[in-house]
Structure formats: structure tokens, C-alpha cells
A and B are shown apart, each in its own frame.
Chain A
Amino acid sequence: MTRQDMSAIPNGDLLVILRHGPHGSSWLREGLDAALVAAAFGQRVSLLFLGDGVMALLGGQQVGPLGQKGTQPMLEMLGMYDIETLLVDRGALVERGIGVSDLSVTVSLVESEDIANVLAHHRQILNF
């Protein structure tokens, strides 16, 4: 998404901001839980991945030896819940050396300076 097509930023009832990677804390899992429940309640939900949150989108994740459930299966369920707006801070990808082709799901890239606009397009925001 470029600055020229800001009109493409969807309006939504709820924007869930995800700022943590899939391991090391339960922020991502509990944030995704909130998004899925909101969608199940009929809200139009968008996700915005910022900072380390972009790590959630990497493909080929394994649960690993720590005994925590992975979050990748939850990402695969988003479509079933009609959560199709996955916005990603392009700068966060670049900083971490991640290309769009490394991601396991289809996303829309957002420039850092447009993030305020994304927030303004949603009635409510939850930040994880």
C-alpha cells in the first residue's frame, strides 16, 4: 500500500495491534485470541503488525522444544473468521531483513508515516 492509495485502508470496527513475536511471551497468542473472538462477534477486524510483531508472519515456524503452542495455525484460521486485512509496517520488515516472500500469509504493507491514518480508520483499538 503506497501513500497514494490511502483510500485503500479499510475502515473497521476493531484494529488489533500486534507488537510481539510468536515466542517469548503470550502477547501474540492472546492478541490473536481477542481478534478471533471479536470477529466471531461479527466485528470487522483488521490486524496491524508492528515491530517484532512482524515475526509472527514468518513461514516455516515450529512449535519447538518449549512446549508452547505455536501461533502460525491461528494465522491460518484468520480467513475462516473473515479477518482478511493484515497490515504490516514495511519499516519493521526492512529493519529485520524480512522480505514479503518470507511471509506465510498475504499482507498489505503500510509506510510508518501512514500508521496514524490506519488507527484513525478504526473505531476501536486493542494493543498487544
Chain B
Amino acid sequence: MRYALLVQGGPYSHQASHSALRFAQAVVARGHHLATVFFYHDGVYNAARLSAPPQDEPHLLDAWRRLNDEHGTELLVCIAAGLRRGLLDEREAARHGKQGHSLEAPFELTGLGQLIEAGSHHDRLVTFSP
């Protein structure tokens, strides 16, 4: 089956991101395809490229990246929710006259329409919220 996840909890603030990652790993371990993870609400902070958790805690950012690297999972971040919260890729940073950027590939800023598409085109869309 093709799965999509919707993550709406901030990393290290709520259980949602941790649970989503564990579910993601279980999905691929069972031989399903995890096609899309969509980050919305405070979930967009999962994409913060400067995230630097203590070494004895799970590194959520790296775990998301690994999903993309090993399984081709697209990591989509709602652009409206992201920009408000300071999640800008290089292009958006330039457009808004900001020095530096806070989001980079494999995360992509996209519209909410991509969430709706994911819900329509995949077999399952599972939400993880605080």
C-alpha cells in the first residue's frame, strides 16, 4: 500500500513526531511504500535544518532525511504554515530579504494542495497530532 503521513506536532515538544517516525519505519519494514510525509501546523518545525538535539536523544531531522534517502519518501512542508514560523528555503529567504535559510532539501516547501493530493492518491493518509 502507498501511505502518506500528516505530521502536526512540533519536534521535541510533543509525541507526534516520534510516533510518526516509528509508524513510518514500521510501514517500510512491512514492505509498504511511504510515499509522502506532509508537515503542517507546528509540525513544520521538523524541517528546521539547524536542529541540534542532544546526542542521547533521537535525531528527528536526520531520521526524516533517512526516510527520503533510503525510501524516496517526499518530505513536504506547508509553505504558508512554514513561512509564518520562520521556515524558509533559499529561494523564499531571498524573496523575503532574509539572510540565511532554515529549510533545505530533501524538505520541500509546497502548498496545502499537495496534502489534498496525497490524501486522494495514496491508499492511506495517517495523521499525527499533539
Contacts and interface: CB of A to CB of B under 8 A. Distances in A.
- The answer to whether A and B assemble together is yes
Interface of A: 13-14, 26-27, 30, 33-34, 37-38, 40-41, 43, 124, 126-128
A37 B112 contact: yes
A43 B117 CA distance: 10
Contacts of A127: 127, 129
Interface of B: 6, 40-41, 80-81, 111-113, 115-117, 119-120, 125, 127, 129
Contact of A33 (B6, B80, B119, B127): B80
A30 B40 contact: yes
A116 B75 CA distance: 31
* Most B C-beta atoms less than 10 A away, residue of A13, A30, A43: A30
B127 A41 contact: no
B84 to A, nearest CB: 8
Contacts of A34: 40, 112, 115-116
A81 B111 CA distance: 18
A37 B117 CA distance: 11
A126 B41 contact: no
A41 B120 CA distance: 11
A33 B112 CA distance: 8
Given A27-B41, A37-B111, A128-B129, 20 more contacts: A14-B116, A14-B119, A30-B40, A30-B81, A33-B80, A33-B112, A34-B112, A34-B115, A34-B116, A37-B113, A37-B115, A37-B116, A40-B113, A41-B113, A41-B117, A124-B119, A124-B125, A126-B119, A127-B127, A128-B41
Given A26-B41, A30-B41, A126 B113 contact: no
11 contacts: A26-B41, A30-B81, A33-B80, A33-B112, A34-B112, A37-B115, A37-B116, A38-B116, A41-B116, A41-B117, A126-B119
Nearest to A31: B41
A126 B111 contact: no
Contact of B116 (A26, A27, A43): A43
Contacts of A14: 116, 119
